[in-house]
């Protein structure tokens, strides 16, 4: 089980509509529970996002880093880390 810190949980709670048509969480507890349930991960860098997509077999060929980081399942936490949520 992942431990998600407040910065990660708040980022997801504020930005969840970039991935979903409606809110899946209304408060910090629901957001944390959702992230744990869907096995979201936090990576330490943009390179970590690329590595994750590659490991998961997600086709990113021909896309530049900015395009990949703008994917709806990628959340910029704001401190150099990224949250990846499989929708």
Q: From first to last of the 87 residues of the chain, give the pLDDT tens digit.
A: 567 999 999 999 999 999 999 999 999 999 999 999 999 999 999 999 999 999 999 988 899 999 999 999 999 999 999 999 986
Are the CB atoms for 69 and 76 separated by under 8 Å? yes
Are the CB atoms for 5 and 74 separated by under 8 Å? no
Task: Tally Cβ neighbours within 10 Å of residue 56.
Answer: 10
């Amino acid at each position: 089980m992942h431990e998600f810190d407040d910065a990660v949980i708040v980022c997801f709670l504020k930005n969840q509509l970039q991935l979903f048509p409606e809110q899946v969480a209304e408060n910090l507890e629901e957001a944390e529970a959702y992230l744990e349930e869907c096995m979201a991960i936090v990576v330490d860098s943009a390179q970590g996002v690329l590595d994750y997509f590659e490991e998961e077999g997600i086709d990113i060929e021909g896309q530049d880093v900015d395009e990949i980081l703008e994917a709806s399942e990628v959340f910029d936490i704001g401190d150099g880390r990224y949250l990846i949520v499989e929708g």
